[in-house]
């Protein structure tokens, strides 16, 4: 396709936002698209000044706009902008908290949501549950995708010896629904069977009071190591060298780091509170249940409720209608 005929992809997201699944997801997508020769630009939603710099790129009708969010209210506030944009618009819902957010809107808020979401040509949800809680009239616009975009082969990817009793867990700011404390207790219980078991806590997001409380919780445990905002290459190294990745969340979307852990060859043990990819082992959201599953194995997930379609696949598909507008 000639330069004049190419579709430009505009990522509406925080280009340099907090470390976490959303940043990893749209960053992976950008890397893959650019490796294919596509023109990808950011409308940085984390800064009004940086977002304004993208104005010259918003005029083309041959554009695909991908708006990445975890909070539905942002989609409602910016709906008038997306309704007026030339090109094709996609709302990408990353958060497993969407059901709770819809409930919190109440009847009036839900009515506004129904109108606002019509501003977007497509809605991509990271699991079936998210799509099913949206208003029925909008579900034909919903496509379930996985937010993890496997990177092109990197010959310099980390290679490490795997420690048979090394366990790792990730937590955003120590927030309660990530249950990092449950992971600590589960490994503490397991150490009666695996005395050499260790736990690495990969913390990210806001380094505030909740993370400080978590640091105090593990301060006297030399087998626990907590690090903050580890760079992607270090995270990859940790996943490649650990035996088990724990995901004891109260709710979830389709976690990027779970997919990364599976791709790195680690066992993944997750709570049975949300859809999980095939290959993940499941346990009840309880320290004793996680400890038992760590040693004996958990129930296998069937992958039901998730998609094998990556965001890269969906972007390729959306480029066709965007080119024709």
Please state the rounded mean pLDDT for residues 242-263.
97
What is the crossing angle of helices 180-190 and 287-296, to 10°? 50
Strands (DSSP E) found in 238-322:
242-247, 267-271, 281-283, 299-300
pLDDT at 203: 97
Residue 245 contacts residue 269 (beta carbons within 8 Å): yes
| 169: its two tokens | 């867990």
Q: What is the pLDDT of residue 153?
A: 59
pLDDT in tens, 284-323: 999 999 999 999 999 999 999 999 999 999 999 999 988 7
Tell me the angle at which helices 21-35 and 256-263 cross, rounded to the nearest 10 degrees. Answer: 60
- Of 172-181, 201-210, 316-325, the range with the lowest mean pLDDT is 316-325
Mean pLDDT of 127-152: 88
Report for 18-32, 50-64, 152-166: range of highest mean pLDDT: 18-32
Rg (CA), the chain: 21
Q: pLDDT tens for residues 75-89? A: 999 999 999 999 999
Q: Helix, strand, coil % (nearest 5) of the chain? A: 40, 20, 35
Look at residue 94 in the predicted model and tell me its pLDDT: 95
Q: What is the CB neighbour count within 10 angstroms for residue 8? A: 18
Residues in the chain, overall count: 325
The mean predicted confidence, pLDDT, of the chain is: 92
pLDDT tens sequence across 117-129 = 999 999 999 999 9
**Per-residue pLDDT band at 282 (split at 50, 70, 90):** very high
Check residue 4 and give its pLDDT.
45
2 pLDDT band (50/70/90 cuts)? very low
Q: Which two tokens stand for residue 320?
A: 């066709």
Predicted pLDDT of residue 300:
98
Q: How confident is the model at residue 325 (pLDDT cuts 50, 70, 90)?
A: low
Half-sphere exposure of 51 (CA within 13 A, CB side): 11
According to the model, what pLDDT value does residue 198 have?
98
């Amino acid at each position: 396709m000639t330069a004049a005929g190419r579709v430009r992809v505009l990522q509406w997201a925080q280009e340099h936002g907090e470390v976490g699944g959303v940043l990893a997801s749209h960053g992976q997508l950008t890397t893959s698209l650019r490796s294919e020769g596509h023109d990808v630009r950011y409308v940085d939603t984390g800064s009004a000044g940086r977002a304004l710099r993208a104005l010259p790129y918003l005029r083309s009708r041959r554009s695909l706009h991908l708006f990445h969010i975890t909070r539905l209210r942002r989609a409602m506030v910016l709906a008038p902008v997306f309704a007026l944009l030339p090109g094709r618009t996609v709302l990408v819902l990353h958060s497993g908290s969407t059901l709770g957010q819809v409930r919190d809107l109440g009847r009036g808020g839900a009515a506004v949501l129904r109108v606002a979401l019509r501003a977007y040509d497509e809605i991509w949800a990271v699991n079936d549950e998210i799509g099913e809680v949206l208003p029925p009239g909008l579900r034909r616009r919903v496509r379930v995708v996985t937010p993890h975009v496997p990177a092109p082969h990197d010959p310099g990817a980390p290679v490490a010896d795997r420690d048979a009793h090394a366990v790792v867990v990730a937590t955003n700011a120590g927030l309660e629904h990530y249950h990092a404390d449950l992971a600590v207790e589960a490994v503490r219980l397991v150490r009666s069977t695996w005395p050499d078991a260790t736990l690495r806590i990969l913390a990210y997001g806001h380094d505030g009071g909740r993370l400080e409380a978590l640091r105090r919780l593990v301060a006297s445990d030399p087998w626990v190591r907590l690090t903050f905002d580890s760079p992607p290459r270090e995270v990859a190294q940790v996943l490649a060298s650990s035996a088990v990745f724990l995901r004891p969340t109260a709710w979830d979307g389709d976690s990027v780091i779970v997919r990364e852990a599976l791709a790195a060859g680690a066992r993944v043990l997750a709570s049975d509170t949300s859809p999980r990819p095939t290959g993940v082992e499941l346990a009840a959201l309880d320290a004793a249940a996680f400890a038992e599953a760590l040693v004996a194995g958990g129930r296998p997930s069937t992958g039901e409720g998730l998609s094998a379609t990556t965001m890269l696949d969906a972007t390729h598909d959306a480029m066709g209608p965007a080119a024709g507008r």
